[in-house]
Amino acid sequence: MTVSSFPQVVPVRLHRPALRPKPVRYRALVRLSLRRHRGALAALTVSSALLAVWVLRTAQDVVRVRAERAANSCAEAPYLQRCDLTVQHVSDTLQAVQHAQFALVVVPALAAALLGAPLLAQEYERRTHRLLWTQSVPRQRWLTGELLVLGGASAAVGLVAAALGTRLRTVTSPALTHDSSAFAALPYNSFGPVLATATVLAFAIGVLAGELTRRTVPAVVCALLGHAVVLSLLTWLRRFLQPTLTRFPPHGYDLAPDDWLLRDGVVTADGRRLSYAQCGSTGCPDGSRVFDVYHSASQLWPMQWTQAALTVPLTALALLLVYRSIRRRRP
């Protein structure tokens, strides 16, 4: 009778599959985003180049007009007959400067409408977010890759526009007239760190609008309205960003063109401050002296950096709300 042997147990090592797939690198997401948005980025580059040519040419015209006015000695006595043509050139150049500054102010609005708002709104409209968010790439990581490309493009455009506006501000300083002071609403928002940070903030507002509305056209409208509201609020707030100065000149309206007059009037003998309108038809009381409440030209750049610092937490808050929203939203 044959005795069968017991079967031998051979140990086998089983490789357990990874529970989590290897995360996709941001480099790959950035390359993918660059390919997806190459048309918009190319158009953005061409538009920035055209804007740069326009602004630099306008700045060159300002330098030429300043030299012409100095050569004809028309700065101190522009009412002379020989200065009529120079005064007309100054007026035309200032109008061209205002047009260029208006174009620079529009840059943040375009970043909000053309780059920020469609970023998520188009994905929702086309239903492509269902495909994107069911892949191995987490939705937050995918959004970060998109923000690195489009947000970086917005920041780059904002920096270029801020540099161009600063160049325009440099050649027009000191101001040719009181109306062209850098504290006015149009020049102030068209140069320096205010314009650079406003562009990034407008882009973030556009992304948030696209996440909330999930439609491209409503997102564009909401982004533009949101940017306009924030810009108006910061423009109103800027007078409080630096301490005001008070002076008592011998007569009114003698501030430098680059200073920003906030309030003026007279101080009576008993210390009351009255505006010129409060003096009435009988005139101001005897013994009154003139006062001016203003911001000096030296406060311009501190005010710019303070306002720029205020936009940083607003930008971070808008992007944080976007990340929170897409994490909770179902595909």
Q: What are the tens digits of pLDDT across the range 162-218?
A: 999 999 998 888 776 656 678 888 889 999 999 999 999 999 999 999 999 999 999
Looking at the structure, tell me whether residues 225 and 280 fall in a common domain.
no
Q: Give the model's pLDDT for residue 127.
A: 85
Say whether 166 sits in a helix, a strand or coil.
helix
Looking at the structure, tell me whether residues 224 and 265 fall in a common domain.
no
Q: Is residue 107 included in any domain, yes or no?
A: yes
**DSSP one-letter code for 16:** P
Q: Is residue 15 included in any domain, yes or no?
A: no
How many Cα atoms are found within 13 Å in the side-chain-facing hemisphere of 208? 21
| Run of H or E including 322 | helix 300-328
Looking at the structure, tell me whether residues 289 and 155 fall in a common domain.
no
Report the candidate in 261, 282, 260, 284 with the shortest Cα–Cα distance to residue 274: 284
How confident is the prediction for the chain on average, in pLDDT?
85
Please give the backbone phi and psi of residue 261, each rounded to the nearest 5 degrees, phi first: -80, 125
Q: Give the model's pLDDT for residue 302.
A: 94
| Run of H or E including 294 | strand 289-295
Report the candidate in 137, 140, 153 with the shortest Cα–Cα distance to residue 25: 137
Amino acid at 51: L
C-alpha to C-alpha distance for 37 and 317, rounded to whole angstroms: 25
Looking at the structure, tell me whether residues 190 and 222 fall in a common domain.
yes
Q: Is residue 8 included in any domain, yes or no?
A: no
Number of structural domains found in the chain: 2
Looking at the structure, tell me whether residues 174 and 287 fall in a common domain.
no
Looking at the structure, tell me whether residues 270 and 290 fall in a common domain.
yes
